[in-house]
Structure formats: structure tokens, C-alpha cells
Structure 1
Amino acid sequence: MMKVVFIVSSLAIVWFMRLHPVIKRSYDKELDTFRYYLLVLGSFVLALLIHEKFTVQEVFWAFSIYLEAVAILPQLFLLQRSGNVDNLAAQYVFFLGAYRAFYIFNWIYRYFTEPYFTRWIACVSGLVQTALYADFFYYYFISPMMPFLLAVDTDDFRWSCIGSSFP
């Protein structure tokens, strides 16, 4: 049941991003220049090279884990290029990162409670994904207006709060 909820909510997010008139108006195609196909191709090649067992199911599982680890990069790249992060986008990115960060606790728990916990690919990929959020988390938490509006200094790619500056 939870997998169905996950898939439906993911499709709803994609629908809002691509087709909803209000959200679509705020999308700037000229700023969205990230070559996402390189992430897909790189994840697939990595899955062919590094997997737990060379079966179709395991290779595709590894591919999905690797792709999930880097899937946030186009969003972070677009936020940096646009120079502004509105409240909705900031909260969305924050909760995506928090989900992955809290998932690390699941691995720690499973390591100590399951005698043969061996999903090291998921653990390493999850740590990489959480590290990709680290810069965003840092500026999200030190921002005095944290739950409101954030901006990006595109000259040195640092997050900052609108109306404030960080050292």
C-alpha cells in the first residue's frame, strides 16, 4: 500500500511541476540546463559495474539506488542558477533531504538487529545523497528566516537569506 502511495504522490509532484498552470508559469526553461541524461547514463554504467549479484533484478535495483542518490542535483542546480528559492521549493528540498538523512537511522538499526545486513550499496549511496544536501541544509538552518525565503548567491554558489548576508 505504501508503495502505491509513493508512486501516486511522485506522479502528482511531476504533474504539478510540468502541467499545473501556476507552477508551470514560474518554471524558467532557459535556466534549466542541467544534463540529467548524464546522471541516468552514469548511474546505469555504475550499476553494471558495481552490484551485489549480476542479475537483471539486482542491476536495475542498483541503478535505481544510484540514480536516487544523484536525482536531486538538477533541482539544486536550477535553484542556484535561478538565484531565488521560494518557501515551497525550500521546504520540498529540505524534506527530501531529511527523508534520506533519517533513513540512515534505519540502516544503523538494521545493522545491529539483522545478522546479515549487507545492503552496502544503499548505505553508501544514501550517504552520498545526504552529503549532496549538506550545503543546502547548512544555509537552511542558519538562515534567520529559515522557514520563509532563501536566496542563492550565484557568484560563489552560496545559499543566503534574502535581505541578509552570511560571512
Structure 2
Amino acid sequence: MHFPNLARLDISESFIKRMKTLKTAHSVTLAFWAGLNILVSSVFLFHTEALHFYFFTMNISWNVVNAFVAVFLYAHHNDVFDRPISNLHQMEYQKHIEKAMVFNIGLDMTYIATGFAMYYYGDLPQVLHNELWLGFGISVILQGSYLLIQDMVFYKLHRKNHSKVYPYWENLLLG
């Protein structure tokens, strides 16, 4: 397959635009989820007791961290993608993003498993403060499940973006 210079520039630029859009959307989606959780959980926190109190407390705590992560990622990605990027760096960024997404998906599954472990631990009759363990466990399961879905969707979108530019990169490398 032959790519004229103009077409190469268009392919490269459109890849970067799509990647920046994906990274921005990922950060904004996480920020929206965090804000919604903080808002809703704050309202319900003071109108519940026991298990639900701990559930909403963990939701707030977890999503304060999510909000900071989202702001950091948004600023970082906009800084990175606002600079000119060579084809080699595009390939490196794509590889890095895919590895990071796979790592995050594994981490999300670990969150879910930890949430279930906390929940089942809290369900044991001899455990002190079982409402805390149950509430925290349910919250961690919820947060991990959301992150797993989000990360899987964005991983798939990044792979789709990669597939659009891969023939160009292959032609570039093989000459």
C-alpha cells in the first residue's frame, strides 16, 4: 500500500486527534462519575445509618481520589498531545496506553475481588464492625465494576484507533 506524503500527514494528524479525544473523554467521563458519586453520596450520607453510611463514606473517599486522577490525566494528556509528535512517538504512546489500559483492567478486577472479600468478611458473625466491612465492600465492588467497564470500553476504542493507523505505520517501518 502506498501513502503519499499528504496522506501520511493526514493519517498521522487524525490519529493524534482521535487519541487526544479519547484520552480527554476518558478523563472527563471519570471526572463526571466522581462528581456524581460525591454529590449523591454526600446527600445520602447524612440520612442513613450503619451499612449505608459506610457505603456512602467509601464512595465519597474513592471518588475524591478519582477526581484528582481525572484532573491529572486531563492536564497531562493535553500537555502531551498539544506538542508535535513524531511517528515513532505515536507508536510508543499507543503501546504505552494499551499497556496502561490492560494494567488498569487488571487493577479493576482486583478492586472487585477485594470488595467481595471485604463484603464476605463483614458477613462473618464474629467480625466487629461488620456494617463497615459490608458497606465498604459493596462500595468497592461498585467502583471497581464501573472502572472495569470504563477501562474496557476505552481500551477497545484505543485498539480501534490503533487499527486505523497500523497500515500506515507498517508501511512506514517496512518501507
Shorter-chain TM range is 0.3 to 0.5
Q: Which has the higher contact order (CA 8 A, sep 6+)?
A: 2
**TM-score under structure 1 normalisation?**
0.44
- Structure with greater helix share of residues: 2
**TM-score under structure 2 normalisation?**
0.42
- Structure with greater strand share of residues: 1
Structure index of larger Rg? 2
